Amino acid sequence: MNVQQLIEKLELRVFGGEQGLQNTITGGYVSDLLSDVMGNSDTGQVWLTLQTHKNVMAIASLKDLAAIILVNNHKPDEDTLNQANEEGIPLLGTDMSTFEITGKLYELLK
């Protein structure tokens, strides 16, 4: 599945980073601790978090993640959004809680 298909299936909002909408999704990772994501996420995963600051983009880029989904109606900081566009990594959003979106994502990817 690619990011565009995921957006359609889960009705996600696209904040930025549209250049990466064709990125292939290999799995997901859910965490708000940046070192946890740094240490344990892997290439091609979608990252679910409530962190909205710019450093999430640095991590997504360094780890070659497929996309970021901000949960619970969180909005990205302006410099986060700029960075997403610069890096071409889709920055997405949902009103769903972490629990709900994770469950749905798991069903789609398992």
Partner 1 sequence: MQFQYQIEGGNFSRAGFASSEIKKLMKQLNVDLSIVKRTVVATYEAEVNIVAHAYGGTIYVELDEEKIIIKLVDEGPGIPDIEQAMKEGYSTASSTVREMGFGAGMGLPNMKKNADDLKISSEVEKGTTVQITMYFKTEK
Taking the complex as a whole, the smallest distance from the CB of residue 97 to partner 1 amounts, in Å, to 18
| Residue in 1, 9, 24, 62 binding partner 1, rule: CB under 8 A | 62
Taking CB under 8 A as the criterion, the residue among 1, 22, 24, 36 binding partner 1 is 36
DSSP, res 72: T
Task: Compute the distance between CA of residue 28 and CA of residue 26 in angstroms, rounded to an integer.
Answer: 7
Interface residue with partner 1, options 48, 59, 68, 89 (CB under 8 A): 59
d(CA 79, CA 2): 25
Contacts of 96 (CB under 8 A, 6+ apart): 10, 71, 72, 104
Question: Which residues of the chain form contacts with partner 1 (CB under 8 A)?
Answer: 32-36, 38-39, 43, 49, 51, 53-55, 58-59, 61-63, 79
